[in-house]
Homo-oligomer: A and B are copies of this chain.
């Protein structure tokens, strides 16, 4: 589907959120594993599995075009040889909206798999979080298991 190679899970995550901010469907799907064993849960949504469901959902979400800037915050990263798990807060910032009218943050769990073609996303689980996330006491660097 794409010749893009992500040497690290972090590279894949950057590309994922860049595509999400730009509403770039091809850029988005280039991040996902080409395997059909992929899982995507959009905020308040059902679980989607497989390339077709995941691609169709992003096409629908992106149809309106970019409307917000996106800030990724408070990452917790757990990295193995083959799998990496990142937990982040996604904050969508609508430039023309007042602070109190900004959307609630989203908490996301992202799982990446090391494939023959570099690191790819296999799970994205996003859900709305309360407006004021609790402080995370552990702002240490990523945990490497190997």
Contact of A46 among B123, B125, B133, B145 (CB under 8 A): B133
A35 to B78, CA, bound (A): 12
Given the complex, which residues of B lie within 8 Å of A109, measured CB to CB?
Answer: 39, 41, 109, 111, 123, 125
A131 to chain B, nearest CB (A): 9
Size of interface on A: residues with Cβ below 8 Å to B: 45
The reply to whether the CB of A45 lies closer than 8 angstroms to some CB of chain B is yes
A82 near B85: Cβ-Cβ < 8 Å: no
A81 within 8 A of B: yes
Query: Which of B45, B113, B130 is the one whose CB lies under 8 Å from A78?
Result: B113
The answer to whether A107 touches B125 (Cβ under 8 A) is yes
